Amino acid sequence: MPLYLPILSLLLGAFLLAGVGLTGSQKRLSMTAWSWLAALFPFTAVLVLLGFTTAVLGTTNALQWQISWIPTLDWPFSLYFDNLTALFALIITGIGTLIIIYTGYYFKGDNTAWRFLSYILLFMAAMLGLVMAGDVVALFVFWELTSITSYLLVAYKYNYPEARAGAFKALFITGGGGIALLGGLLMVSAVAGGTTWDVILSSGDVLRANWLYPVMLGLVAFGAFTKSAQFPAHIWLPRAMTAPTPASAFLHSATMVKAGIYLLARVNPALGMTEMWFWLLTIVGATTMVTGAYLGLKQNDLKALLAYSTISQLGVLVMLIGQDTEIAFKAMVVGVLAHALFKSALFMVAGNVDHETGTRDLRRLGGIRQMMPYTFGVAALGALSLAGLPPMLGFLAKETLLATSLETTVHPSMPIWLAWVFPTAVVFTGAFKIVHAGLIVVDGFTGEQKDPSIKAHETPVFMWLVPGIPALLSLLLGLLPEPPPLATLLAGAAGAAYGDTVKVSMALWTGLNIPLLLSVIAISLGVTLFYFRQPVRDWLIDAGGFSFDKVHDDVLGGMDNAATWATRLQYGRLRTYLIIILLALLGLVTLFGGWVWPNLAAITWPDLSVDGEQQILRLLSMFMAAGAAVAAVFLQRDFYAILALGVSGLAVALVMILEPAPDIALVQIVVDILAVVILVLALTRLPRRQRRAAQSLNQVHGGPFGWGQLGTAVVSVGIGAVTSMMAFVALTTRSTRESLISPFYEESAKTLVGATDIVGSIIIDFRALDTLIEIAVFGLAGLGVYNLLRYATAKWGDDEAALAQADAPSQPQRSLSTRGIGGVNPSPLLQLAGYMLLPFSLILAATHVIYGHDQPGDGFTAGVIISLAIGFWYIVFGYEVSARRLSWLRPSVLIGSGLLLAMVTAVVAALWMGSFFGHVNFGTYLGLPLPQGFYFGTALLFEVAICLTVVGSVAHMLNTIGRPQDEKSAS
């Protein structure tokens, strides 16, 4: 089976839930029923992953799958599955299945929770993709996807400011680490000579010997530290507790926070086993371990207490990966499994308490043991494992951690005076965790009821049974005889991270030894601290302390201050920006290029006896373009200036036709006309007084620097001369060698992708990824216009209306949005033209899409043609009539559908041909009797996607300009 099937299963589930919500079908089933249905997708992934695990269990082999991603750079998109991957993948999907079932009962009765289910399935797919990624490019893509999807989960209750703030802090910190990680991974790939794990993991000696090793290590470690909440980047994790409890139970116990742990374990054979690696991970991990455990003592909120406990455990795992001993990696894999089990259970317990009592505050809880007996039992099991007490799996994790800390004392570079610091830190951390566990069980459930107003009862059976499963597993894995498959899997995972064979025994009793003695000391100290917990906690809370949250706030404040200084120069006047850009160009040419005067002798005048008519027409079109551009500058009426600008663009299109470059000319024509239409529409929204004020300002001050019109003219002429000189020198001095790329396109367009139109094949096939980025930018431009103008109009709309009314107080204010041209009813002739033009444009656009591979024209041109017809409707009929009759015109849906179709097309081609955006002719495979020049394949689907995105983006612009005061206009 292909390795991508588990990821695909989760994505299908996410899209299914999204479709259910968007179509309004969620009411057909209860939320609990939808959660059981959604759980089938991760459960399917678990079954498939078990099959993969069986194939690699007990071996050092790895399953691999890859497709060509960027062949010119030898960057494939690949998946990789070994024992280390299997451990994390099974935790992700196994815990994930339970969390999704729990979600249905947690959100029972909330028909909008399909959104949460869709988000968590998307996150699960991203996290699974991260641990299964077979190359650093794929890993980074999934790494950032986990940041984005976790942002959606943390900010799920977006009406609450603390949810938005917590989500932003998590995204800001982990996103910054992701940028550093990308740089580090690219350096690692460059030095190793490949991006795939099999190349990188076999290049450890080369990487460690390279002079860039400290930089690579620092960047990769920084990315991992931010993701796994290591000190001082730990501040994002407690703030992320604003997420609903199912998200907290999943993200912060089994998945997202483990991403950095997985990465460090994965790259240890390549970047580890050095003094720099040892000290960096040991110091950061140990500091985080103690900091999290200490800060946890001060918390009164159950989820905050669990969050700081998680930070402490993550520090433990980072410290273990920094060691170069076999016992450390045994402790690491056992710790990963134990933490995932007991922490997911405890988070769901906190959710149960909050769900039934309405609070998580330990100062109000207590005395609810009899009210929630089954939840109390689950909490007791989870807390025992958290405290590291026998016979729980957490005890084995603590014992191996203590044994590892003793190994650290004899590390070759460990000073004698520092040797016992790490065992001491581990002992105190163990004591603090006993206090954590006691606070949860004793203060949370037992004793007298602190708040009599709290009335609770036991949760529905699955709300305590689901967290009971991982809690019970923590007990059974400690009590029962060692299960061979699990021990083999843990040994294989530890060996993959260690780079050598690791033996893993899961026996709790290993005899009387020093780790057991240290464990007894930790338990005794923990029990003592818990007995005096109230005065200790009061003292810690009163003591306060330095908070790195302030550092985060200061960084953001510094960015705001820098933005303030930047806006003193970038204050929104386009003329200023243009002059600065052009002057910078002049300076660069002067400093680096030097002044090269054109060689006028190199000019060869055309022979008018050969194609004289075309030569004269070419010359006239150039004069027309230049003359119209000059007219656009000097014309006083804005409308006339816009028309002159349009004429200049059409003249340039005529030059392209004469070259000949029909594809480019066609795009130039339709885009030029569309630009004129949008500018004319925008002109109707600008009060005449503002336009006159802008013109007078320009005439009096001559631009932003107060140079006067003469100064502006000097700058313009100077820049024009420099640009002309550069173009002339480039044309007359360029090399005469033959192009390599042009013959390739000419020879390959027909043979490789079946296209007779070379330009179309370049856009749709050879450089499809560039086109995808371009249409994404075009779609974002439409969304940007909509968002900018609707907020600006909401703020300034009344002032603009007042200014416009002041221009003509005796006449009512007219707007294009109410009726047609000039605010009056259009004539029957114009109405007839509008009714005929739209269907005709749709037919014409369809021909451009269908025959884009065979003749000039493409999806972009088709989208602009349809947009022009829509723009004509807005001009003739106005916004209200157009919006009512063109109800199918939903801009955001069109943009999203276009981009989604493009991505699906690329993925289908990858699965079919093994190449992202590869060319597939479905018509040939299916034997369809299609007309000549009509190719039904991925190229056609991509053309449709481009057309949809363009229409959606332009519709946003037209809607916003047509009636910006109505936010519903762009729905």
- Judged by average pLDDT, the poorest of 4-18, 311-325, 416-430, 802-816 is 802-816
Is the peptide bond preceding residue 269 cis, with omega within 30 degrees of 0?
A: no
pLDDT of residue 875: 77
CA dist 229 and 239 (Å) reads 11
Residue 623 has pLDDT above 50, yes or no: yes
The sign of the torsion formed by the CA atoms of 847, 852, 855, 857 equals positive
Spell out a b/e string for 221-244, using b for 16 or more CB atoms within 10 Å of the CB, else e: bbbbbbbbbbbbbbbbbbbbbbbb
How many Å separate Cα 549 from the centre of its chain?
A: 24
pLDDT of residue 84: 92
Choice between 531 and 592, residue whose per-residue pLDDT is larger: 531
CA dist 247 and 170 (Å) reads 14
Most confident of 270-279, 545-554, 750-759: 270-279
Phi, psi (rounded to 5 degrees) for 937? -160, -165
pLDDT digits (tens, 9 = 90+) for 478-498: 887 667 788 888 889 998 888
Confidence band, pLDDT 50/70/90 cuts, at residue 268: very high
Residue 804 has pLDDT above 80, yes or no: no
Spell out a b/e string for 750-765, using b for 16 or more CB atoms within 10 Å of the CB, else e: eeebbbebbbbbbbbb
How many Å separate Cα 432 from the centre of its chain?
A: 37
pLDDT of residue 40: 93
Terminal CA-CA length for the chain:
43
- Judged by average pLDDT, the poorest of 41-55, 71-85, 409-423, 892-906 is 409-423
How many Å separate Cα 776 from the centre of its chain?
A: 14
Phi, psi (rounded to 5 degrees) for 162? -65, -30
Most confident of 100-104, 531-535, 909-913: 100-104
Residue partners of 27: CB distance under 8 A and separation at least 6: 111
CB count within 10 Å of CB 725 equals 16
Provide the 3-class DSSP secondary structure of residue 571. coil
Q: Percentage of the chain surpassing pLDDT 70?
A: 86
Query: Do 918 and 752 touch, CB atoms closer than 8 A?
Result: no
The pair of three-digit structure tokens given for residue 502, joined into one six-digit string: 């690791």
Provide the 3-class DSSP secondary structure of residue 960. helix
- SS3 per-residue string spanning 344-366: HHHHHHHHHHHHHHCCCECCCCC
Query: Do 944 and 859 touch, CB atoms closer than 8 A?
Result: yes
pLDDT of residue 598: 63
Mean pLDDT for 637-648 is 85
Residue partners of 579: CB distance under 8 A and separation at least 6: 703, 704, 705, 715
Beta-ladder partners of 81: 63
Residue partners of 729: CB distance under 8 A and separation at least 6: 596, 598
Most confident of 94-103, 481-490, 849-858: 94-103
Question: Helices 213-227 and 161-192 meet at what angle, rounded to 10?
Answer: 150
- Judged by average pLDDT, the poorest of 39-53, 366-380, 447-461, 464-478 is 447-461
Confidence band, pLDDT 50/70/90 cuts, at residue 703: very low
Mean pLDDT for 352-359 is 86
> CB burial class (10 A; 0-12, 13-18, 19+) of residue 559?
exposed
Provide the 3-class DSSP secondary structure of residue 135. strand
The pair of three-digit structure tokens given for residue 147, joined into one six-digit string: 């940041």
The pair of three-digit structure tokens given for residue 522, joined into one six-digit string: 């930790």
Provide the 3-class DSSP secondary structure of residue 230. coil
What is the residue-averaged pLDDT of the chain? 81
pLDDT digits (tens, 9 = 90+) for 658-690: 877 787 888 888 888 888 888 877 776 666 666
pLDDT of residue 817: 40
Closest CA to 715 of 574, 623, 586: 586
Mean pLDDT for 295-323 is 88
Confidence band, pLDDT 50/70/90 cuts, at residue 263: very high
Closest CA to 506 of 365, 391, 413: 391
Residue 807 has pLDDT above 70, yes or no: no
Query: Do 151 and 200 touch, CB atoms closer than 8 A?
Result: no
CA dist 281 and 277 (Å) reads 6
Confidence band, pLDDT 50/70/90 cuts, at residue 595: low
Confidence band, pLDDT 50/70/90 cuts, at residue 641: confident
Look at the chain and count its residues: 971
pLDDT digits (tens, 9 = 90+) for 898-951: 999 988 888 888 777 777 777 787 777 777 777 777 778 888 888 899 999 989
Query: Do 69 and 916 touch, CB atoms closer than 8 A?
Result: yes
Choice between 610 and 76, residue whose per-residue pLDDT is larger: 76
Mean pLDDT for 155-184 is 86
CA dist 123 and 145 (Å) reads 7
Phi, psi (rounded to 5 degrees) for 254? -115, -15
Mean pLDDT for 230-238 is 84
pLDDT of residue 971: 37
Most confident of 259-273, 673-687, 953-967: 259-273
Half-sphere exposure of 361 (CA within 13 A, CB side): 8
Please identify which residue in the block is written with the tokens 């939320």: 31
pLDDT of residue 552: 64
pLDDT of residue 699: 55
Provide the 3-class DSSP secondary structure of residue 192. helix
pLDDT of residue 10: 93
Residue 463 has pLDDT above 70, yes or no: yes
pLDDT digits (tens, 9 = 90+) for 812-852: 444 434 455 545 567 778 778 878 888 888 888 888 888 87
